[in-house]
Structure 1
């Protein structure tokens, strides 16, 4: 069950420094939303607030609300571990657990959640690897180290690991920035397939990628170095790239700054 994300009046801090200011947006279920904007404008920081990863950083805190359907992610009753189980994350660089096999990498989250049945784990690992379009490439070497795969395969392994615990939302922080063009295309194709089951939010510096994979695009910017990042505009991707409402969006997309 993919879920809707509703963000209202969100401010994000590192200690006393306000990194992101006054963001409100809606992310629809079973869709891909891309965050674009210059480096340092708070895209990745904001992304990490959507599964409470931001508060892992010393001094990290937020004001405002993030609703996942009817659940307030920042409610005192909400367990951050459960939030991160519901809202999975794939990072910029592939990070398979280096001492674990391919099978154990995918099964790690399920085992952490208390799943012990070999049959259940085996079925879930195959389903997740198929979901990440990796099964046919690794089915005969599941006992080999995950770190022995190519970069693109490692990133798909990390996606399989993320979806194995059946999240409703998948966050991706520049998932293709460390990959070659062929691996990038494989990940983009995979994102297109996964959105039928998940709500996906992706941070990317690749404008063409945002145009290719996303249904909606959000443009972030900051007034100057040291100032907080702000959401300038969010709209259908086709509108953002062909007829944005804000001049700053048009300037960034056309390469006049950033």
Structure 2
């Protein structure tokens, strides 16, 4: 199920402004890749190019290629909505649909894709909630509003919603930044479990989190405010944190800037 991502010579624009410049990288399947770097260096912008979410913003466009195994996500005739089914996303703040029940939150994407069979929906919702380590906490209140859950539970509900449609890649944009330490640990444990099934890419400002959960780490930086973000270095996480090849990476990790 999990897919390999190959990015080559990618430039990201918003109108005339170049936000990210000349990124080439490979993300291996069934692994966790973390993006780190100072605010404004293009981590989240680049992440959104991996499922074409950046196009939602007017003027958003790319040059270069993003390959999912052997399919170019930016080839002519490729449906962005289909891309987002294959490459799911979990956002910085938990965003359950406020008027929907816990059950309907998880089932929303399935229904959108045409699944109507109540038995199949029920089975998939339970499977997804179990996959997000949330089933035991909510199984007796599936008809209660999703917005009534705690922040950490809401984020796991959003993960359940994302994996319900069985994507091959899961993108996470600072998924723990609004959570307390206990909820953060629960999400990190879940990421470690999910990587056996999915290709996971996570943006985080928490370098300890990157060190804990990721197999590989990519460091982004920018020369100055208003300049495009660039990929400075990408390697196995233990090497990035113990023996990076670029001075800028070492300076950022050691807290000298950022």
TM-score, structure 1 as length reference: 1.00
The match for 2:229 is: 229
Residues in 2 aligned to 1:143 and 1:56: alpha-carbon distance in whole angstroms = 32
Residues in 2 aligned to 1:77 and 1:214: alpha-carbon distance in whole angstroms = 34
The match for 1:94 is: 94
1:22, distance to aligned residue in structure 2 (A)? 0.1
RMSD, aligned CA: 0.2
Question: How many residue pairs align between the two structures?
Answer: 258
Unpaired runs of at least 5, structure 1: none
Superposition pairs of residues 1-258 of structure 1, within 5 angstroms: 1-258=1-258
1:77, distance to aligned residue in structure 2 (A)? 1.8
Unpaired runs of at least 5, structure 2: none
Residues in 1 aligned to 2:207 and 2:51: alpha-carbon distance in whole angstroms = 25
Residues in 2 aligned to 1:234 and 1:200: alpha-carbon distance in whole angstroms = 15
Residues in 2 aligned to 1:39 and 1:183: alpha-carbon distance in whole angstroms = 23
Deviation string for 1:44-79 (max 9, x for gaps)?
Answer: 000000000001100000000000000000011211
SS of the residue 2:114 aligns to: coil
Moved over 3 A (4+): none
TM-score, structure 2 as length reference: 1.00
Residues in 2 aligned to 1:186 and 1:73: alpha-carbon distance in whole angstroms = 32
1:135, distance to aligned residue in structure 2 (A)? 0.1
Residues in 1 aligned to 2:103 and 2:78: alpha-carbon distance in whole angstroms = 31
1:141, distance to aligned residue in structure 2 (A)? 0.1
SS of the residue 1:18 aligns to: strand
Residues in 1 aligned to 2:55 and 2:91: alpha-carbon distance in whole angstroms = 17
Residues in 1 aligned to 2:125 and 2:197: alpha-carbon distance in whole angstroms = 17
Deviation string for 1:155-201 (max 9, x for gaps)?
Answer: 00000000000000000000000000000000000000000000000
